[in-house]
């Protein structure tokens, strides 16, 4: 059965108004309270884990429902990823990720390297076409990544949220002042001949690519630090192994076995598979394939943002700074959320309708940036 989002969104707005009248924008919870109280809106699965796994978890990863920043302890050459919450090699988990702008025009398909992305931001550009920013930490062995396209202002905010090194091929005029605030690898600068190459199997502008070795060489030549800034404390909260988030019984929960984020041109959707707990992505009427297979992710964040155009241009001015609303989707269910940003360069936090910061399941996350005026067209389907 289909659930049209605008009915649901009206309820979200009402809840938000009621909450905002309480004096605080979001309820503040101390670290000790956060790890001892279980959010009613994010009930966790009762999963049996063997004594060895339980002992390993309690030995070096603390307690509570989610992994906190101080839990990132090295064990057997691995550490918790800031991007997925999963255990990864220390060499990858402790270095800054790259955030690569990717085209989604039909002429550019497939996207090379997108299957390696741990977090993907999808947002509209001018003309209704979407572009991606693929944030990845495991890219060294990739010999083709892209195609790489130009920057828009709002993508610079997303890259800064993860302390990522931003790779793009050009930019809009309006984005130029924002690029100076982060480390970036621009195809139009001198480093472009090092970082990028053109292929003959695609036509310009869809034939500019980079690679793992080219990115690493460019980062070294530009003198960018490969380590996270000392002040960086991660972005998302991830559920502990054995305490996965189900959203069952959460206020405002909807079944979400299919999710349509209402993008006009590529018309994408996500389908939930119970066998592996992942959402499989589709667009242009068929499976969304990268060079390493169909795109699959664990979490979906729908982030509704006020938007307009820069005066007398087709360039979108999407407001990703001021507080607004959205949805969190995982395990075949969706809940309404409110989101807020820690200043201009800080991470975005997502809260349920009880003011609890949401906990993501371990794995890849796809963030759909949706113009607020298009949110009534978002659709959710239950299990068929």
Structure tokens at 131: 């572009």
- Determine, yes or no, domain membership for 290: yes
- For 235-272, the pLDDT digits (tens) are 999 999 999 999 999 999 999 999 999 999 999 999 99
Render 220-234 in DSSP notation, one character per residue: HHTT--SBPPTT---
Structure tokens at 229: 């800034």
- Determine, yes or no, domain membership for 175: no
- Determine, yes or no, domain membership for 106: no
- Distance in angstroms (rounded) separating the CA atoms of residues 353 and 42: 11
- Side-chain half-sphere of 376: how many Cα atoms within 13 Å? 4
336 vs 54, higher pLDDT: 336
Render 108-169 in DSSP notation, one character per residue: GPSBBTGGG-SEEEEEE-GGG-EEEEEEES--TT-S-EE-B--B-HHHHHHHHHTTPEEEES
CA 108, chain centre distance (Å)? 22
Domain that holds residue 28: 2-53+249-381
Using CA of residue 178, residue 181, residue 184, residue 190, what is the dihedral sign?
A: positive
- Distance in angstroms (rounded) separating the CA atoms of residues 282 and 268: 5
**Looking only at Cα atoms, what is the longest distance across the chain?**
64
- For 178-209, the pLDDT digits (tens) are 999 999 999 999 999 999 999 999 999 999 99
Please give the tally of structural domains in the chain: 1
- Determine, yes or no, domain membership for 60: no
With beta carbons less than 8 A apart as the criterion, state whether 351 and 340 touch: yes
- Determine, yes or no, domain membership for 144: no
- For 304-323, the pLDDT digits (tens) are 999 888 888 888 889 999 99
- Determine, yes or no, domain membership for 322: yes
Read off the CATH number of the domain in which 316 is found: 3.50.90.10
- For 36-94, the pLDDT digits (tens) are 233 333 444 333 334 334 434 433 455 688 887 766 888 899 999 999 999 999 999 99
Tell me the mean pLDDT in the region 163-167: 98
With beta carbons less than 8 A apart as the criterion, state whether 132 and 149 touch: no
- Determine, yes or no, domain membership for 155: no
Q: CB-based contacts of 142: which residues, under 8 Å, 6+ apart?
A: 112, 113, 116, 211, 212
Q: CB-based contacts of 207: which residues, under 8 Å, 6+ apart?
A: 147, 198, 199, 200, 201
Structure tokens at 80: 């918790």
- Determine, yes or no, domain membership for 129: no
Give the angle 13-348-292 at the CA atoms, nearest 5°.
110
Using CA of residue 22, residue 40, residue 252, residue 236, what is the dihedral sign?
A: positive
- Distance in angstroms (rounded) separating the CA atoms of residues 127 and 310: 14
Q: How much is the pTM?
A: 0.86
User: Which run of H or E residues covers position 29?
Assistant: none
Q: Is the pLDDT of residue 12 over 60?
A: no
């Amino acid at each position: 059965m289909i659930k049209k989002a605008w009915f649901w969104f009206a309820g979200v707005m009402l809840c938000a108004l009621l909450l905002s009248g309480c004096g605080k924008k979001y309820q503040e919870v101390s670290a000790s309270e956060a790890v001892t109280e279980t959010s009613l809106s994010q009930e966790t699965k009762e999963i049996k884990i063997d004594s060895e796994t339980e002992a390993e978890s309690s030995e070096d990863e603390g307690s509570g429902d989610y992994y906190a920043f101080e839990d990132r302890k090295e064990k057997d050459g691995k550490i918790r990823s800031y991007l997925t919450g999963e255990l990864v090699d220390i060499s990858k988990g402790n270095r800054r990720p790259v955030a690569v702008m990717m085209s989604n025009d039909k002429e550019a398909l497939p996207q090379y390297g997108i299957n390696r992305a741990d977090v993907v931001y999808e947002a509209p550009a001018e003309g209704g076409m979407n572009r991606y920013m693929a944030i990845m930490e495991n890219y060294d062995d990739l010999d083709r990544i892209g195609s790489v396209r130009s920057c828009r202002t709002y993508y610079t905010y997303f890259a800064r949220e993860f302390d990522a090194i931003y790779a793009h091929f050009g930019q809009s005029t309006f984005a130029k002042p924002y690029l100076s605030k982060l480390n970036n690898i621009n195809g139009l600068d001198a480093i472009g001949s090092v970082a990028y190459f053109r292929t003959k199997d695609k036509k310009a502008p869809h034939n500019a690519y980079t690679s793992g070795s080219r990115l690493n060489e460019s980062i070294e030549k530009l003198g960018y630090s490969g380590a996270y800034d000392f002040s960086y404390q991660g972005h998302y909260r991830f559920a502990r192994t054995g305490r996965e988030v189900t959203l069952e019984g959460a206020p405002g929960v909807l079944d979400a076995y299919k999710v349509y984020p209402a993008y006009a041109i590529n018309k994408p959707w996500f389908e939930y598979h119970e066998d592996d707990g992942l959402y499989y992505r589709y667009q242009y009427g068929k499976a969304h394939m990268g060079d390493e297979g169909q795109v699959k992710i664990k979490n979906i964040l729908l982030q509704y943002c006020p938007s307009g155009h820069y005066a007398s241009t087709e360039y979108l001015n999407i407001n990703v700074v001021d507080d607004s609303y959205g949805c969190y989707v995982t395990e075949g269910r969706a809940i309404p959320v409110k989101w807020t940003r820690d200043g201009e360069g800080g991470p975005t936090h997502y809260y349920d309708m009880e003011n609890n910061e949401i906990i993501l399941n371990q794995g890849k996350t796809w963030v759909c940036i949706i113009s607020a005026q298009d949110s009534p067209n978002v659709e959710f389907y239950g299990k068929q």
